[in-house]
Structure formats: C-alpha cells, structure tokens
Amino acid sequence: MESNPDTTSATCTFEKNALVQQLYGQQNSHLARIAEALKVSIDARGNAVFIQGDSTAVALAENLLDQLYELVENNYPLFPEDVDYALNALTADHRVRLKEIFLDTLFVTAKNRLITPKSPNQKAYIEAIRNYDIVFGIGPAGTGKTYLAMAMAVFALSKGRVNRIILTRPAVEAGEALGFLPGDIAEKVDPYLRPLYDALHDMMRFEKTSRLIEKGVIEVAPLAFMRGRTLNDAFIILDEAQNTTSEQMKMFLTRIGFNSKVVVTGDITQTDLPAGKASGLIESKQILQGIEGIRFVFFSKKDVVRHKLVQEIIRAYEELDLRKQGNKHQ
C-alpha cells in the first residue's frame, strides 16, 4: 500500500525529568487529549515524544508540546482544560506565544488558584482594562468577560488603586414575571445579581466578601440604583449590558467620576429586552468606538472557557441564525 505523502513524523525531546510528568499529565492524559483532538499518533518514551500523522497536525502538536513545556518550566500548574485552551489558541494562530498569555497572573484566589487569561482575546481584554478607563467586552457566554473583569476589580481593590467595587446588572425579566417572585424588592432582584456574587465568592472567602459588602466597599446592585450618583475612586462592572436600554446605558456611562474604571460586558445575541426596544450595548458599539479612552474587545466561541460542548452549542445556534437569515431573504 502506498504511503500518504501528507503523513509525517516528529520528535520532541525534553530535558528535565521532573517536568515531563506534568507535561504528559496523569497516565499521559494530556498527550491523549492532544492526540484525540488533532487525530495524530503520540507515543511517549521517557523524555521523548514521537508524533505521527497529517503534516499540519504534527507541526501543530509539536508547537503545542514545546510551548506547554515552556509553561511548566515557569511553574505553571497545567490542567487538562489548559491543554484545550492552548490548542484552541494555536489552532487559530500558530504564531501565538502561550507564555505571554498564560503567565499573566491576574489574581490568586482564596483557594490558591491562579486566574490568568486563556486566549489571545482574553489577553487583549486584560491589557485593555489595564490601559483604558472604559472597556466593553462583547461576546458569547463562557468567554470570561465578567470573571476576568471581576479578577481585575478585586486586584485593584487589594492594591489600593480603588476604594470600592460596584457590580451592577439590569434586572430584566427573561420569561419570568418579576412581580410574582416572593419577598421585598431586594429579594426580588437578588436572583439577577447572583452570578456576580458567585464570581466574587470564587475569588475571596465568603466571610471576607460578606464583610466588605456590609461596609459598602463592595456593592452589588441593580442598574436602576445607579441613577443620580457620581462614582469616584471605584472599579465598576456593568454585566449583561445587552439588556440595558439606550437611556439606561447613557445614564450609566455618565455616572463615572474621577479615578474610576468601568468594564461593560454583554452578549448582543442574547437580548431579553421587549420587542421593539433597542439594546444600549448595541447602540454603544455603533457610536462609541471612535472615542479615545474607550476600548472594545470582541470575543468569539474560540474564547469559551467552559465545558467544550459550550463551543459546539454556540456554533449550532450561530448556524441556526444564519439559516433563519437566509430564509428571510428568499
């Protein structure tokens, strides 16, 4: 049988025995993950890894292993999902330097877990937050928009760069009537703010978070509560901004005072506003991109850092939207 001319092989050799197991994963699970994703054969023998398969896939696997080894050399704790994120990044652009992304530690959680960007767009987002006063992060669910912004806010507070953190969301009814929920107004809107609390508790101990909320150092409130205020010396995150109206977005953005940083996050494909109501986030995207000091960062399904099936779900809905648009034009 004739050999496939596109089939090739490569060998990666690594110097430090102590790091090889971290690179390979438990029972070579990281290598198996790469082999399955790229449809190549990977065989590890001691410090050497032999790769065989399609020439493009082999080159990608070789590049990936070399760069992952560089991460573990720099004491990066490599988890299975990191292998997936790295593979996504290099598949999109083989020139990406994983070291520049993964070693940019934003914050260390109460559980001693590092929070770092996992894709070039996440890295660009972090750099934008560092360098601009107002940043918009727009893209699908699971791309780390709110979580990374929260990490930057907690870091800024811990370093004394701001005096408080303000987290806000529009309380928009998504298929359920707010008036029928039990309790007073605070209890009614609490479910809308719960994801912000969850992210906070993931980064700080529950007791510390509760204490800072009691003191007003951290405020979690519906967007309507921002009206009439001037927000100085604060790190402010507006989450789920696709559900703001044009008037609400203008109100929010004009609350910003001195020494404050604002991050606005949202997914313009998941608007829960009533029919006929324009999204303030979509309008902002159209009219504010030319203003110096404001930065927009756009995420795609390739930046998803949740279960890998989330990427497939997003892709399926994107294809459905395209089919619907095609049917409209027929």
**pLDDT in the model for residue 2:** 45
Instruction: Report which of residues 2 and 105 the model is more confident about.
Output: 105
Q: How far apart are the first and last CA of the chain?
A: 49
Give the mean model confidence (pLDDT) for residues 72-98. 92
**pLDDT in the model for residue 295:** 97
The residue whose two tokens read 């009691």 is: 214
Per the CB < 8 A criterion, the answer to whether 243 and 272 are in contact is yes
- Return the bridge partners of 234, or none: 164
C-alpha distances (whole Å) from 282 to each of 88, 253, 263, 277 are 28, 14, 15, 11
**pLDDT in the model for residue 328:** 64
pLDDT over threshold 90, residue 136 = yes
Tokens (6 digits) for 18:
């102590």
Q: Residue 12 carries which DSSP code?
A: E
pLDDT over threshold 90, residue 250 = yes
pLDDT over threshold 90, residue 269 = no
**Beta strands 134-138; 294-298: pairing state:** parallel
pLDDT over threshold 60, residue 183 = no
pTM score, whole prediction: 0.82
Per the CB < 8 A criterion, the answer to whether 64 and 90 are in contact is yes
Instruction: Report which of residues 315 and 116 the model is more confident about.
Output: 116
**pLDDT in the model for residue 173:** 47
Tokens (6 digits) for 102:
């993964």
pLDDT (tens digit per residue) in 216-238? 999 988 888 898 898 999 999 99
**pLDDT in the model for residue 190:** 63
CA dist., res. 276 & res. 62, Å (int): 52
**pLDDT in the model for residue 199:** 83
State the DSSP string of 19-62: HHHHHH-GGGHHHHHHHHHHT-EEEEETTEEEEEEEHHHHHHHH
Give the mean model confidence (pLDDT) for residues 165-174. 77
C-alpha distances (whole Å) from 117 to each of 144, 276, 318 are 8, 37, 25
**pLDDT in the model for residue 251:** 94
- Return the bridge partners of 136, or none: 264, 296
**pLDDT in the model for residue 238:** 95
Query: Which value, in Å, is the radius of gyration of the alpha carbons in the chain?
Result: 23
Instruction: Report which of residues 9 and 107 the model is more confident about.
Output: 9
When the pLDDT of each residue in the chain is averaged and rounded to a whole number, the result is: 86
pLDDT (tens digit per residue) in 11-45? 999 987 789 999 999 999 999 999 999 999 999 99
- 3-state helix, strand, coil split of the chain in percent (to 5) is 50, 20, 35
CA dist., res. 129 & res. 151, Å (int): 11
Per the CB < 8 A criterion, the answer to whether 135 and 297 are in contact is yes
Tokens (6 digits) for 6:
């596109």
Longest pairwise C-alpha distance within the chain: 78
- What is the pLDDT confidence band of residue 198, given thresholds at 50, 70 and 90? confident
Per the CB < 8 A criterion, the answer to whether 232 and 260 are in contact is yes
- What is the pLDDT confidence band of residue 141, given thresholds at 50, 70 and 90? confident
**pLDDT in the model for residue 177:** 42
pLDDT (tens digit per residue) in 295-313? 999 998 888 876 667 767 8
Give the mean model confidence (pLDDT) for residues 168-177. 61
